[in-house]
Structure 1
Amino acid sequence: MQELLAYLQDPELVARFQRRCGLFLVGAAHPSRRRTGGHTGASVRAEGPRGQLRAVGQETNWLLHILFLFSAGLGHEIFYITCLPCIHWSLDPFLCRRLVNMWGLVMYIGQVMKDLLKLPRPVSPPVVKLETRVDAEYGLPSTHAMAATSISFTLLFSAPSRLQFQFEVGLLIAVTLSSLVCLSRLYTGMHSVLDVICGVVISAVILLLTYPCWETLDHLQLHTRISPIAVPALLLFLCYKYPDLDHYSTTRGDTTTILGACAGSSVGYWVNEQLGETFEPQGTLPVPLPTLTANALALCTGRFLVGVVALVGTRQIVKTTSLHVLYSWYRVPKNDHNARRRKEIEVPYKFTTYTAVGLVHSILTNRIFVLLGLL
Structure 2
Amino acid sequence: MAVWRRLARLAAHLQDPRKVAAFQRLCGVEGPSGWADAEQQRAGGRGAVVNGGPSGGQGHPAGNGSVAGGAGPPQRWRRRPRRNSLTEEDGSQEFSTRSRFLYYLFSLGTELGNELFYILFFPFCIWNLDAWLGRRLIIIWVWVMYLGQCTKDVIRWPRPASPPVVKLEVFYNSEYSMPSTHAMSGTAIPLALLLLSYGRWQYPLAFGLILAFCWCSLVCCSRIYMGMHSILDVIAGFLYAILILVVFHPVVDLIDNFNLTYKYAPLIIISLHLALGIFSFTLDTWSTSRGDTAQILGCGAGVACGSHINYIMGLKLDPPPHTLPLSLSSLTVTVFGKAILRLLIGVIVLLLTKVAMKKATIPLACKIFRIPHDDVRKARQRMEVELPYRYITYGMVGFSLMFIVPSLFHFIGLS
Shorter-normalised TM-score: what interval? over 0.9
Hey, what does 1:43 align to over in structure 2? 78
Hey, what does 1:181 align to over in structure 2? 219
Q: Deviations over 1:127-161 (max 9, x none)?
A: 11111121111110000010111111111111124
Hey, what does 1:211 align to over in structure 2? 249
Hey, what does 2:413 align to over in structure 1? 373
Map residues 173-252 of structure 1 onto 2, 5 A cutoff. 173-252=211-290
Hey, what does 1:124 align to over in structure 2? 162
Hey, what does 2:352 align to over in structure 1? 313
Map residues 324-339 of structure 1 onto 2, 5 A cutoff. 324-337=363-376, 338-339=378-379
Give the residue type in structure 2 aligned to 1:296: V
CA RMSD of aligned residues (A): 2.3
Hey, what does 1:360 align to over in structure 2? 400
| Mean Cα deviation higher: 134-143 or 211-220 | 211-220
Hey, what does 2:50 align to over in structure 1? none
Determine helix, strand or coil for the equivalent of 1:279: coil
Distance 1:51 1:348, change over 3 A: closer
Q: 1:53 Cα shift? A: 12
Q: Deviations over 1:209-238 (max 9, x none)?
A: 222222222222221112111011101001
Please tell me whether residue 147 in structure 1 is matched to residue 185 in structure 2: yes
Give the residue type in structure 2 aligned to 1:124: S
8, 12, 15: which is aligned to 2:18? 12
Q: Deviations over 1:4-28 (max 9, x none)?
A: 1011000011111111111112244
Distance 1:50 1:365, change over 3 A: closer
Q: Deviations over 1:92-143 (max 9, x none)?
A: 1111100110001011110011000011110111111111121111110000
| Mean Cα deviation higher: 27-36 or 197-206 | 27-36
Hey, what does 2:385 align to over in structure 1? 345
Map residues 61-80 of structure 1 onto 2, 5 A cutoff. 61-80=99-118
Aligned counterparts of 1:298 and 1:55: Cα–Cα separation in 2? 40
Aligned counterparts of 1:87 and 1:52: Cα–Cα separation in 2? 37
Aligned counterparts of 2:333 and 2:371: Cα–Cα separation in 1? 53
Q: Normalising by structure 2, report the TM-score.
A: 0.85
Hey, what does 1:136 align to over in structure 2? 174
Aligned counterparts of 1:311 and 1:52: Cα–Cα separation in 2? 31
Hey, what does 1:22 align to over in structure 2? 28
Distance 1:20 1:169, change over 3 A: same
Give the residue type in structure 2 aligned to 1:16: A
Q: Normalising by structure 1, report the TM-score.
A: 0.94
Give the residue type in structure 2 aligned to 1:234: L
Distance 1:209 1:44, change over 3 A: same
Distance 1:70 1:52, change over 3 A: closer
Give the residue type in structure 1 aligned to 2:107: L
| Mean Cα deviation higher: 167-176 or 281-290 | 281-290
Distance 1:30 1:203, change over 3 A: closer
| Mean Cα deviation higher: 269-278 or 201-210 | 269-278
CA contact (8 A) 2:131 2:318 kept: yes
Q: How many residues align?
A: 375
Please tell me whether residue 292 in structure 1 is matched to residue 331 in structure 2: yes
Determine helix, strand or coil for the equivalent of 1:13: helix
Q: 1:246 Cα shift? A: 1.9
Distance 1:50 1:217, change over 3 A: closer
Equivalent pairs: percent with the same residue?
38
Please tell me whether residue 3 in structure 1 is matched to residue 9 in structure 2: yes
CA contact (8 A) 1:68 1:183 kept: yes
Q: 1:90 Cα shift? A: 0.6
Aligned counterparts of 1:227 and 1:82: Cα–Cα separation in 2? 27
The runs of 5 or more residues in structure 2 that have no matched partner are 1-6, 36-60
Q: 1:291 Cα shift? A: 2.8
Give the residue type in structure 2 aligned to 1:2: A
Aligned counterparts of 1:317 and 1:54: Cα–Cα separation in 2? 31
Map residues 96-107 of structure 1 onto 2, 5 A cutoff. 96-107=134-145
Aligned counterparts of 2:88 and 2:368: Cα–Cα separation in 1? 32
Q: 1:51 Cα shift? A: 7.8
Hey, what does 2:49 align to over in structure 1? none
Distance 1:285 1:16, change over 3 A: same
Aligned counterparts of 1:102 and 1:41: Cα–Cα separation in 2? 42
Give the residue type in structure 1 aligned to 2:280: Y
